[in-house]
Structure 1
Amino acid sequence: MCLTPPVRTGELFDLLRDGRPWTRAQLAEATGLARSTVTARIDTLMRLGLVAPFGGARSTGGRPPALFALNPTARLVVGVDVGATHASAALTDLNGSILGEVDARIAVADGPQPVLAWVVESVEALLADANRPVEDLAAIGIGLPGPVEHSTGRPINPPIMPGWDRYDVPGHLQQHYPVPVLVDNDVNIMALGERRRHLRDVDDLVLIKVATGIGAGIVSGGVLQRGAQGTAGDLGHVRVPGADDVPCRCGNSGCLEAVAAGPALAAAVRAQGEEAQTGGDVVELVRAGSQVAMAVVRQAGRDIGEIVATMVNLINPSVVVIGGQVAGAGEHLLAGIRESVYQRSLPLATEHLRIVTSRAGGEAAVLGASALAIEHVLSPDVVEAASEALAAADAEAEAAGS
């Protein structure tokens, strides 16, 4: 006979994360637990600070039943986005609401020591500005511009990050803040941030970052897909038809990044007589009405769209979000992408497909890094471990007092 396992405290708490208040009776009905058990577990969650009373429900006669909901201010997390030439950090509550932000011009190529020293100083400053003690910090999420082994948080052979290969990023930060440190690549956290802020009801989406490089963050079935070694979504080094003679920094030729990322677009614009050193310069030229820049960006969109079309057929997302610096070119880039995708993808896959520019923009990465930390802190297993530790401490105190 197969028995349903008992609903743990962490699993009951997972129900309370849905953004609406619950009564004990509703929780008992949803979980199958006895009212007394629900009451005991709610008390534990309140002692942990994760749940708080939420006014009262409408009475059907007698005292109105109490409501309970997630207490978003109980703990704090910090989300950090480290880019090629910039870094930003945000302090958020457990709902992901930003309480404070800092940013700086800092080159990831300077190495892990100065960059992570900035992170340590930023966390301290954010907590001080919010007038919150370090004990309220529950976790740190951080995004890096290169491949990351998610299980260890170590960068693996990152092409634009000299000195970072297999560096123990979590261990470095935990010397200063003894909390969980979650590390992922920047495109994955951008996908998490875009979904949390603007696409909560979308379970299947792809975010494509077009900047110095090109990559994709893939959410399928509501879960971020990293792949076996964490390299899922590495679109930048997929071969583009007709570009075999274009060398790429990875050592191959014909890669999408080599023909459609920011540096490639700047080179294409310069070759036609206009001045541009970066992808940002190309975007500014597009905004200023440069026909050369518009044509270059439109062709880049077509090239990106060729690869995205294959991804659409394989993964079948409902939304493709275009982010990163070059996304600032707006409809000129999107038009090229749409042209190729709708021409090359299956009609059923594109019937309800939306291809849009990121709405979270520059905040997508820090929001995603925050979401990465929050999902860990509020996961059923972590909450269950905290409740068990509280029970053990109560038992020890009772034994000491007897």
Structure 2
Amino acid sequence: MTTEAAGAGALLAILRDGRARTRTELMQLTGLARSTVSQRLDALLDREWITPAGDAISSGGRPAVAFAFNGEARLVLSADLGATHARIAVTDLKTRVLAEHTQDMPISQGPEHVLGWLVDAFGALLDDCGRTLADVCGAGIGLPGPVEHGTGRPVNPPIMPGWDGFDVSQWLRERLGAPVLVDNDVNIMALGEHWAAGDECEHLLFVKVGTGIGSGIITEHRLHRGAQGAAGDIGHIRVLSAGDQLCRCGNTGCLEAVAGGAALAARLRALGEDAADARGVVQLVRSGSPLAVQLVRQTGRDIGEVLASLVNFFNPGVIVVGGDLADAGEHLLAGIREVVYSRSLPLATQHLTMRGRLLGDRAGVVGAAVMVIEDALSPQAVDRSVTTG
């Protein structure tokens, strides 16, 4: 493959905005010679990354052929594995969900059991789509614990016995025959919500309130993972209301120890209410339980205490609240807003929006797909694909 064709990835990056363009338009945008543009387009066509648009564009002379990004060229496998349940999906390269499945799947059953199920479940979804693993460009996996993103290995995950140091990426790659990217579940949810919010949302903080509490940080349209992938673990920040309450991490006084779904459910059970987990708490709120409503509102205030400091420090434009407890509706958000607006600097909250998630339970699988798509369609990766055939 020629040097000119090897720059095809940058051309594809332009076409990914969804607008079809002619050779002449691409020459004007890039400043490249017509022959160079043609060679790069031919390379992208050969790999089916682009396709001729349906209608030729005419300016009075011979109609010019326009080219558009082919979102159906490859498939992506994505999985959002939570503490007790899993959601998986097959998407195209525009994150359109082609098939999906949810199932109770305790992460505590260990990596080989859970990942073995995942491989079989992915196969079933591909069958539903009439496609095979040969059509897959990659898989994205979200796990409910700290993950070293560069290696795809969980690191001391508190609710994932047997997973510490397990090479999730390699184990799955050997069975799927495609690259596998792994991240913390809150990070992939943040990616999904940022994707849904669009380009105008430059700085976003996603807060997951479920069995535990965590956050994902988007700054300048990029996910911030930190040096080792541990950024955003706000559930273990100390809060005054927690006192000396023991947390599952081994420390005392953590936000999660008083505001996590497991902690709320335990407190409601001690008060005579039937709440097995975070979802049980939400059911009580929806049924009008005064105790549940009061506790969820206070949970919002406790979370708001931590978020007020983060708003001053990070100055996000949007805070999105997700996770199982987010389904409790305005009770949780009202508690958060009450404290954030009263304790954060006026400049930091001047244009701040706090809202629920746009994607609902799909945020994780969409975000996992985004993680894979951005990797597979990076200019460098596309150049490799067109030069290796």
Range of TM-score over shorter length: over 0.9
Asked whether the equivalents of residues 7 and 33 of structure 1 are also in contact (C-alpha less than 8 Å), the reply is no
Distance 2:60 2:275 in 1: 72
How does the TM-score come out when normalised to structure 2?
A: 0.96
5 Å-filtered alignment, 1:104-119, equals 104-119=103-118
Match of 2:325 in 1: 326
Unaligned runs of 5+ in 2: none
Question: Which range moved further: 49-58 or 216-225?
Answer: 49-58
Distance 1:242 1:323 in 2: 22
Distance 1:119 1:198 in 2: 29
5 Å-filtered alignment, 1:252-291, equals 252-291=251-290
Q: Give the AA of the match of 1:68.
A: F
Question: Is 1:39 aligned to residue 74 of structure 2?
Answer: no
Asked whether the equivalents of residues 205 and 317 of structure 1 are also in contact (C-alpha less than 8 Å), the reply is yes
Asked whether the equivalents of residues 211 and 261 of structure 1 are also in contact (C-alpha less than 8 Å), the reply is yes
Q: Secondary structure at the match of 1:175?
A: helix
Asked whether the equivalents of residues 158 and 164 of structure 1 are also in contact (C-alpha less than 8 Å), the reply is yes
Question: Is 1:202 aligned to residue 201 of structure 2?
Answer: yes
Q: Give the AA of the match of 2:233.
A: D
5 Å-filtered alignment, 1:115-134, equals 115-134=114-133
Distance 2:106 2:267 in 1: 25
5 Å-filtered alignment, 1:375-386, equals 375-386=374-385
Question: Is 1:66 aligned to residue 73 of structure 2?
Answer: no
Match of 1:400 in 2: none
- 1:72-103 Cα offsets, whole Å, 9 max, x none, are 11110111111111112101110010111122
Distance 1:152 1:238 in 2: 26
Q: Give the AA of the match of 2:64.
A: P
Asked whether the equivalents of residues 7 and 31 of structure 1 are also in contact (C-alpha less than 8 Å), the reply is no
Q: How many percent of aligned residue pairs carry the same amino acid?
A: 54
Q: Give the AA of the match of 1:272.
A: L
Q: Secondary structure at the match of 2:240?
A: coil
Q: Give the AA of the match of 1:88.
A: R
Distance 1:95 1:52 in 2: 15
Match of 1:310 in 2: 309
Q: How many angstroms does 1:57 deviate by?
A: 5.0
Match of 1:139 in 2: 138
Match of 1:227 in 2: 226
Q: How many angstroms does 1:6 deviate by?
A: 11
Asked whether the equivalents of residues 138 and 376 of structure 2 are also in contact (C-alpha less than 8 Å), the reply is yes
Q: Give the AA of the match of 1:184.
A: D
Match of 1:353 in 2: 352
Q: What is the RMSD computed on CA atoms of the aligned residues? A: 1.5
5 Å-filtered alignment, 1:51-200, equals 51-56=50-55, 58-200=57-199
Q: Give the AA of the match of 2:191.
A: L
Q: How many angstroms does 1:274 deviate by?
A: 2.6
Match of 1:365 in 2: 364
Question: Which range moved further: 48-57 or 196-205?
Answer: 196-205
Asked whether the equivalents of residues 133 and 177 of structure 2 are also in contact (C-alpha less than 8 Å), the reply is no
Q: Secondary structure at the match of 1:44?
A: helix
Asked whether the equivalents of residues 79 and 140 of structure 2 are also in contact (C-alpha less than 8 Å), the reply is yes
Distance 1:224 1:291 in 2: 38
Q: How many angstroms does 1:63 deviate by?
A: 1.4
Distance 2:140 2:275 in 1: 34
Distance 2:83 2:293 in 1: 25
Q: Secondary structure at the match of 2:253?
A: coil
Q: Secondary structure at the match of 1:45?
A: helix
Distance 2:53 2:43 in 1: 16
Distance 1:87 1:66 in 2: 44
Q: Give the AA of the match of 2:336.
A: I
Q: How many angstroms does 1:129 deviate by?
A: 1.3
Q: Give the AA of the match of 1:323.
A: G
Unaligned runs of 5+ in 1: 391-402
Distance 2:5 2:316 in 1: 35
Q: How many angstroms does 1:288 deviate by?
A: 1.0
Asked whether the equivalents of residues 198 and 360 of structure 1 are also in contact (C-alpha less than 8 Å), the reply is no
Match of 1:21 in 2: 20
Q: Secondary structure at the match of 1:251?
A: coil
How does the TM-score come out when normalised to structure 1?
A: 0.93
